[in-house]
Amino acid sequence: MSKFYAQAFYRLALEDYREHLKKSRISQALRLVLSQTPRAWDYMEDRIGNWLIKLGQSLKSHSHLAHHA
């Protein structure tokens, strides 16, 4: 292989490496953003948790023992 072809091959490999590195960084950034984005289940857990807290407060305020304690 001549020196010219070796340099051309090296340049192509370097460009390919840079392109893969760029795609990898973009992919990593997207995964980070998506991992911090609330999902539907997170919303449902929040709603259920709030409902349970309100239910507990309501039961406590209507409890016979709460009025005599």
Residues 3-41 have pLDDT tens digits of 767 888 899 999 999 999 999 999 999 999 988 888 888
Cβ within 8 Å of residue 66, ≥6 positions away: 60
Is residue 51 over pLDDT 90?
yes
Residues 17-26 have pLDDT tens digits of 999 999 999 9
Q: What is the pLDDT of residue 20?
A: 97
